[in-house]
Chain A
Amino acid sequence: MAFNFIRAWLRTIFLSPYRLLRALLPKYTTPSRYFEETQVASKSSRMPKFYHDDEAWADMAPLPQDDGGLHPLAAIAYSDEYSEAMGYLRAAMAQNEFSERVLGLTEHIISMNPAHYTVWLYRAKIIAEIGRPLQDEIAWLNPTALKHLKNYQIWHHRHTMIDALGSPDGEPEFISAMVELDSKNYHVWSYRQWLVKRFDLFDKPEELAWTHGMIEEDVRNNSAWNHRYYLVVGGREGKPSADIANREIEYTKAAIRKAPQNQSPWNYILGILRAAELPKSTLKDFATEFADVQNPDHVHSSHALDLLADIYAEEESSKEKAAKALELLATKYDPIRANYWNFRKGLLDQPKVAA
C-alpha cells in the first residue's frame, strides 16, 4: 500500500504539469515512446485522457490497485493513463455507481484494453441500470468489434445486448463487414449460428443465400460449409427430405468439381448422405471422376480415393480395389498419414462387424 501511495503521489506532483503542457500544445508534441505504445493498444492516434483534473470526477478519489504490496510476481507497472482510469473504475465499482460518466470511463478503458472482462461486465450492468438504449450500445459496439476481431468479451457483450433487444435487424450487415476482414473468424460464425437459432432463421432464404455467397467467394471456407450444414441439417430435428438432400448433393458436387482436393465439401456431402440415410455408394460414379485405382497416376483427389476405399470395402468382390486405393494413399497421395491408411488396410482383412 505504501508503495502505491508514493507512486500515486509522485505521479500527481510531477506528471501533471507535463501533461497539461502536452494537452495545451498538441501541435508541437513529438510522438513520445508512451504515445506510440498507446497506439498499439487503441490502434488509433489520440491524446491520452486523464481524470484527476476533470471537474466531472472531482468528487471521486481513484482506488489504487491492491496488489498486496511489492509482491515479486504481482507488482504491476501500469502506464499512467490506464492505471489512473482503472483507479477511477475501481472507485466507481466500490460505491456501485451506475452513470453516464462511468459508462464513458468503461469505453475509455476498453479502447486501451478490450480483453479486460471485468470492465465489460460492469459496462453491461451500467447499461441495464441506467436504461441506455440498446441500439446506441450496438452502434458503439460495431466499430469496436471491427477493431478487435478475436476478442471473446465483445462477442459475449453483443449476445447479451441483441438477446435483450429481441431483434436481429442489422446484424447480417454487421456480420458481412466482419467476415470481410476475416472470413473464417470463429466468433463471427458462432454468433451467426446463435442468431439463426435465437430468431429461428433456418428457413429464411437470405440465410442459405449468404452461405452460398461465402462458398462462391472461397470454396475452401470450412466455416461456411459448417454453417450450411447447421441450416440444412444440424440445427433441425429429423432427417432432410429427399428433395433437400438431392439439392445439397448436387450443389456440393459442383463445388467439388471446382477444387477436388478440398476437404470441406467432401466432409459435407458425406454428412448429408448420413443424415438422409443414403449409402456412400450413391457417390461411386462421382468419386470415380477424380480417382480410378486402375489408373493410379491420374488421381485428382485423395478424398475421392478415401471414399472409394470405403465403397469398395463394402462390396464383397472389390476388397482388392479397396486395398489398392489405401495403398495409393499410404505411398503416393498422402504418405504423411501412412500409419492411418495402413490401419484402414488392416481392417479389410477382419471379419465384418455389424455397423
Chain B
Amino acid sequence: MSLVSGPGRGGMAGMPVEMQLFVDKHVSYIQSLDTRKDELEYWLTEHLRLNGLYWGLTALHLLGHAHALPRTGILDFVLSCLHESGGFGAAPGHDAHMLYTVSGVQILATLDAFGELEERVPGGRQKIGKFIAGLQDPETGTFAGDEWGEQDTRFLYGALNALSLMGLLELVDVEKAVQHVHSCANFDGGYGTSPGAESHSGQVFTCVGALTIAGRLDLVNQEKLGAWLSERQLKNGGLNGRPEKKEDVCYSWWVMSSMAMLGKLHWIDGDRLTRFILQCQDPELGGLADRPGDMVDVFHTVFGIAGLSLLKYPGLEEVDPV
C-alpha cells in the first residue's frame, strides 16, 4: 500500500453545511494508492509498505468495504515479506522488524488467513511467535524492534498484540512486560517510550493497550490518566499528542482508544471532535489529512475513520480500541 500523500488536501473545497463522511470517495482513494508507482514518494515510503497495507485494509473494513482490495493479492504480498526467521520486513528484501511483523499478523488476522499461512508456510504461526518472543529483553521485560536492540513501548505493545491475535501469549513473560509498562508511568499520569520519557498520547495508547491485553488495567491511575487524556482536546475540537502541541487527526485514535479502554470516552466533547475530523476530509478525491488544509494520506485516513467509529459515527463498523 502506498504511503504517498495527496493528491488532495483536507477541507479545501467548500464543505457542505451538513457535515458528512464521504465513504465512497475514501474507498476509491485507498484503492488508488497502489496505482501511483510513478511517483518518487511511492518508493521513498517503501519501508512502510506493509504498515500502509494494514492501515488501508483496516480503513476499508471500517467503511464496510472489506472486499475493495483483492484478498489473494494482499495475501501473496504479505507472505512475500515473511522471512525464514519468522519476522516480516516492510516489503520484500527489507529486514525483518517488529513493526512490520505486527502489521503482517494483523493483516492475516483481518483476512482470517492463519489457515492459509500454515498451508503455505508449515509451522508459520509458531515461527512468527518465536521471532517476536526472541525480541523480549529478559532483564527488563520490554521488547526491541529487531536484533539491533532499539527498545520502545511501541514494540512491547506490538508484541503482545500480535501474540494475542495468534493465541501465543504464553511464549513471552507477560508479567515482566507488564511491570516494564508500569515503570513507564509518569508524574503527570501519562506514559512515554521508556521509563522517564515524556508522556505522549501515542505511547499512552501502546501502554494502555498492552495492559488491556494482559488484563492488568488495575495498575493504571485511571482517573489521572483519563484527565490527562481529556486535556488533549483543544478549543477547535481536535486532540493533540502532548501539552502545548498542535491538534492532529491521528490523535483522535491514540487518545480516544486509550480513553475507551479506560471507559472514559465521555470525558471529551465527541460532537466537536467529530466535526474536526470531518473537516479534514478531501470531499472530492477522498482521504483525510492531519488537519484541515494539509495533504491527505492513508495513515491519517485510517486513524480519522477509526476515531469516527469510536465516536459511533453512523454507518461505520465498530472498531476494537485495543
Is the CB–CB distance between A117 and B200 below 8 Å? no
Contact segment of B70-78, B173-181, B283-291, B306-314: B70-78
Write out the residue numbers on chain B whose beta carbons fall within 8 Å of the beta carbon of A118: 89, 93-95
Contact (A336, B76) CB under 8 Å given A118-B95, A124-B148, A262-B244: no
Binary interface encoding of chain A residues 105-129 relative to chain B, with 1 for a CB under 8 A from any of its CBs, else 0:
0000000110111100100100000
The answer, among A115, A229, A263, A337, for a CB contact under 8 Å with B243, is A263
A184 within 8 A of B: yes
Binary interface encoding of chain B residues 192-225 relative to chain A, with 1 for a CB under 8 A from any of its CBs, else 0:
1111111110000000000000000000000000
Q: Which residues of A are at the interface with B, using a C-beta cutoff of 8 A? A: 37-38, 40-41, 65-68, 71-79, 82-83, 90, 112-113, 115-118, 121, 124, 152, 156, 159-160, 184, 186, 189-190, 193, 220-223, 226-227, 229-230, 233-235, 262-264, 267-268, 270-271, 274-275, 336-340, 343
Q: What total count of A-B pairs have CB within 8 Å?
A: 160
Write out the residue numbers on chain A whose beta carbons fall within 8 Å of the beta carbon of B46: 76, 113, 116
CA of A175 to CA of B233 in the docked complex: distance in angstroms? 30
28 contacts between A and B (CB under 8 A): A41-B44, A65-B93, A66-B92, A68-B76, A68-B80, A73-B1, A73-B34, A73-B76, A75-B37, A77-B42, A116-B46, A116-B47, A118-B93, A118-B95, A152-B150, A160-B148, A186-B193, A193-B197, A222-B243, A223-B242, A226-B192, A264-B243, A264-B244, A271-B187, A336-B233, A336-B268, A340-B226, A340-B267
Q: How far is the CB of A301 from chain B (nearest CB, A)?
A: 13
B66 within 8 A of A: no
B137 within 8 A of A: no
Q: Which residues of B are at the interface with A, using a C-beta cutoff of 8 A? A: 1, 34, 37-38, 40-49, 53, 70, 73-74, 76-77, 80, 89, 91-95, 97, 146, 148, 150, 186-188, 192-200, 226-227, 230-231, 233, 235, 237, 242-245, 264, 266-269, 272
Report the 5 A-B pairs with minimum CB-CB distance, sorted nearest first. A271-B187, A226-B198, A340-B267, A77-B37, A37-B40
Write out the residue numbers on chain A whose beta carbons fall within 8 Å of the beta carbon of B40: 37-38, 40-41, 79
CA of A78 to CA of B49 in the docked complex: distance in angstroms? 14
CA of A233 to CA of B195 in the docked complex: distance in angstroms? 12
Is the CB–CB distance between B235 and A336 below 8 Å? yes
Is the CB–CB distance between B148 and A234 below 8 Å? no
Given contacts A229-B187, A235-B196, 19 further A-B contacts (CB under 8 A): A67-B80, A71-B76, A73-B74, A73-B76, A74-B49, A74-B91, A113-B46, A115-B48, A117-B47, A117-B97, A121-B146, A121-B148, A223-B198, A234-B187, A267-B243, A271-B188, A274-B187, A336-B268, A337-B267
User: Nearest residue in A to B79 (C-beta to C-beta)?
Assistant: A68
Is the CB–CB distance between A186 and B200 below 8 Å? yes
Write out the residue numbers on chain B whose beta carbons fall within 8 Å of the beta carbon of A72: 34, 70, 73
User: Nearest residue in B to A306 (C-beta to C-beta)?
Assistant: B227
Which of B95, B148, B226, B266 has the most chain A CB within a 10 Å cutoff?
Answer: B148
Is the CB–CB distance between A65 and B92 below 8 Å? yes
Which of B92, B192, B198 has the most chain A CB within a 10 Å cutoff?
Answer: B198
Is the CB–CB distance between B244 and A263 below 8 Å? yes
CA of A181 to CA of B70 in the docked complex: distance in angstroms? 44
Write out the residue numbers on chain B whose beta carbons fall within 8 Å of the beta carbon of A82: 43
Write out the residue numbers on chain B whose beta carbons fall within 8 Å of the beta carbon of A38: 40
The answer, among A76, A271, A340, for a CB contact under 8 Å with B37, is A76
